[in-house]
Amino acid sequence: MRDVAIIGVGMNKWGELWQKSLRDIFVESALLAIEDAGVGHIDSMYVGCMTSGLFVGQEHLSSLLADYLGAGPIPSARVESACASGGLAVRMGFIDVASGMSDIVLVGGVEKMTDVGGDGATYALSTAADQEYEVYHGITFPGLYALMARSHMEKFGTTREQLSQVAVKNHENGSKNPLAQFPQKVTVEQVSKSIMIADPLTILDCSPITDGAACAILCPVEMAKKISKKKPSVKIIGSGNATDTIALHSRKDFTTLSATVKAAEAAYKMANVKPENVDLAEVHDCFTIAEIIITEDLGFFKKGEGGKATQSGMTAIGGKKPINTSGGLKSKGHPVGATGVGQVVEVVHQLRGEAKDRQVKDAKIGLTQNMGGSGGSAVVHIMQAM
């Protein structure tokens, strides 16, 4: 198996992109990644997208996006794993390069979510949950994560203020990210007293509806050494993917995301590193409680102590374990098919020392954790500065 490097990344500003189509925003980010990598061609392409058929009525993205990018007739595949589609696209590209099937691979993610109304977006997102046993009875994702939050609060004493602090920290980071959808800073009081969506989660505990895309260029490490003359490359040293029951009620414990635990174990083993070796991480904070649980399941903090760690400043830039320096899904935005690739973009910038006001000092190893639905699937990647 060949070692794999990331030699270029690209991402457009995320938000409500009314004047641009799905194909436009994907090609924008793809061209940025190609330019950043300094390559003249790509051998194959993987695109993460959750449900373009429901959001914009367009399927068959493997053909459409290769054509619109002007890259045909290269092999191209659309990858879907709900909100983990982008992370899974990165993993498929990693496997393609590592296996020797392709040398230069474009991995990307895209979602255009604002072309439908609120009801349409809610329905499209609900397809990532169990239709017969959850959605049919009226539950939504805020409701599912509210169950997790309430369980975590009852079991470990996690507080309303600690949930709010996750949003405060991520908006603080997002205020330094020019590509973030909501770069506004917020206070604990604003988060706690904002409109209640599903008790105990308020609207400012929830990630937004977002249009956006992100891309990266992968190639063998030996090739990267020859291609990347101006910018340092980043090596993917670990990759893990796992699944869990799609329905929350089928799980033994609402306070643990087993797919994340298993995916992380696989990635740590491949990378030969431990949680304490990770300098920063981008995790799937679709709701504030998700970040707290994920940081525990990744082994950064003991189970039940994620909220306390956030409140104490340990997860802030400059803290012991910076989490979501980009602003996370909460502030940067959450175009579901693109999120996992956007996480990789941030870690690459951090490991190349390009994050400016968000830069983590002496960052050498970064991790991304991307998951689908209420944690029914998860992808973890570990990267190292070369």
Q: What is the pLDDT of residues 333-360, one digit of tens each?
A: 999 999 999 999 999 999 999 999 999 9
Enumerate domains of the chain plus CATH numbers: 4-117+209-234 (3.40.47.10), 140-207+237-385 (3.40.47.10)
In this prediction, residue 234 carries a pLDDT of: 97
Average pLDDT, the chain: 97
| 0.95 exceeded by pTM | yes
As a whole number of angstroms, the distance between CA 141 and CA 247 comes to 11
Please identify every stretch of the chain with a pLDDT value under 70, giving residue numbers as ranges: none
Residue pLDDT, tens place only, 29-38: 999 999 999 9
* pLDDT computed for residue 343 by the predictor: 98
Residue appearing with tokens 């709900």? 82
Angle between helices 22-37 and 61-69 (to 10 degrees): 60
Write out pLDDT tens, residues 200-259.
999 999 999 999 999 999 999 999 999 877 788 999 999 999 999 999 999 999 999 999
What pLDDT, on a 0 to 100 scale, did the predictor assign at position 15? 98
Convert 18-31 into a string of H (helix), E (strand) and C (coil): CCCCHHHHHHHHHH
Query: Active site includes 83?
Result: yes
Quick one: tokens of 117?
């109304």
pLDDT more than 70, % of the chain:
100
| Catalytic site residue from 152, 171, 284, 334 | 334
pLDDT at position 181 is 98
| Cis preceding-peptide flag for 275 (omega within 30 of 0) | no
CB 29 within 8 A of CB 10: yes
pLDDT at 231: 84
Active-site choice (83, 215, 219, 286): 83
User: Which pLDDT value is given to residue 227?
Assistant: 87
pLDDT at 228: 75
249 catalytically annotated: no
Cα of 305 vs its chain's centroid, Å: 23
Give the pLDDT of residue 248.
95
Sheet holding 4-11, edge to edge: 76-79, 44-48, 105-111, 212-220, 4-11, 234-243, 377-385, 365-372, 280-282
